[in-house]
């Protein structure tokens, strides 16, 4: 046997004897890290990774509309805000709308919602919880189920149905869009529609489309978290709801000029 044949045989023998040792120390497929790391240390590392990449707890508070509304015969202060706390999968949402009549010195509307939210699609969350209306009286509580998210072409949309403690069923649909005229100047159209499934005389609400609202606001973002704005807002009652308003001596529709601040943190 010449030297070349001897060297080839030596290499082959070495590989054959090394295979069992390699196979014995090889990690188990699917748990390679567990073969080298302590299980407690590995769990701590995985928990830290999950927390830093979507598993952590965060919060946000947004005053989307904090404004003064000036109409032909009335003026009002209005606040529409919301906030959330939780993870990417589970969040507690608090939403509120407050409408204060500055001329009468009383609240026209005061509403708060507490909702639990979970994602059901890439850009949409399913929400469920409770709503309580302090005004207009009599105060009333509702069960809430709705959806909120980002529709194609960057429309922010939301919809909810409300079942009152007296069995009255109603619904609300909202949508808004942001046109970036520049990197800081933003034009925001917005609409809100409210529906009632039956007449509710004690709340002066008629069945069908009860109120419709359209708004257009132009804001300048000195900072992304602080943006004053000006705009116009049109709101109208329809059907029997409009008849209730006229019976009180009020206009069924109003056009207001608004100025306010949008802020979040």
| Helix extents (H) in the chain | 3-25, 39-50, 239-247
Model pLDDT, residue 151: 96
Q: Which of 25-29, 90-94, 215-219 has the lowest mean pLDDT?
A: 25-29
Percentage with pLDDT > 90 across the chain:
71
Domains in the chain, please, with CATH?
3-54 (no CATH), 58-264 (2.40.160.40)
32-62 burial, b if ≥16 CB within 10 A, otherwise e?
eeeeeeeeeeeeeeeeeeeeeeeeeeeeeeb
Residues 112-158 have pLDDT tens digits of: 999 999 999 999 999 999 999 999 989 999 999 999 999 999 999 99
Element (H, E) at 79: strand 75-86
Residue that wins the pLDDT comparison between 55 and 89: 89
Threshold 0.85, pTM exceeds: no
């Amino acid at each position: 046997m010449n030297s070349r044949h001897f060297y080839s045989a030596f290499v082959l023998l070495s590989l054959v004897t090394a295979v069992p040792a390699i196979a014995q120390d090889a990690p188990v497929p699917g748990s390679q890290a567990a073969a080298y790391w302590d299980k407690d240390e590995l769990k701590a590392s995985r928990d830290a990774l999950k927390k830093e990449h979507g598993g952590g707890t965060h919060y946000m508070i947004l005053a989307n509309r904090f404004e003064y509304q000036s109409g032909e015969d009335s003026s009002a202060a209005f606040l529409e805000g919301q906030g959330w706390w939780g993870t990417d999968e589970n969040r507690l949402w608090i939403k509120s709308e407050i409408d204060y009549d500055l001329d009468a010195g009383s609240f026209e509307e005061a509403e708060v919602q507490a909702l639990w939210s979970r994602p059901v699609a890439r850009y949409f969350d399913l929400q469920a919880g409770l709503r309580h209306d302090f005004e207009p009286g009599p105060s009333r509580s509702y069960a809430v189920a709705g959806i909120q998210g980002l529709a194609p072409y960057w429309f922010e949309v939301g919809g909810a149905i409300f079942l009152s403690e007296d069995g009255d069923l109603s619904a609300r649909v909202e949508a808004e869009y942001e046109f970036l005229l520049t990197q800081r100047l933003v034009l925001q159209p917005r609409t809100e529609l409210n529906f009632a499934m039956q007449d509710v005389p004690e709340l002066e609400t008629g069945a069908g489309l009860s109120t419709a609202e359209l708004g257009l606001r132009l804001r300048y973002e000195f900072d992304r978290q602080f943006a004053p704005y000006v705009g116009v807002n049109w709101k109208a009652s329809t059907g029997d709801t409009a008849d209730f308003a006229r019976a009180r001596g009020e206009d069924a529709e109003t056009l207001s000029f608004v100025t306010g601040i949008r802020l979040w943190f």
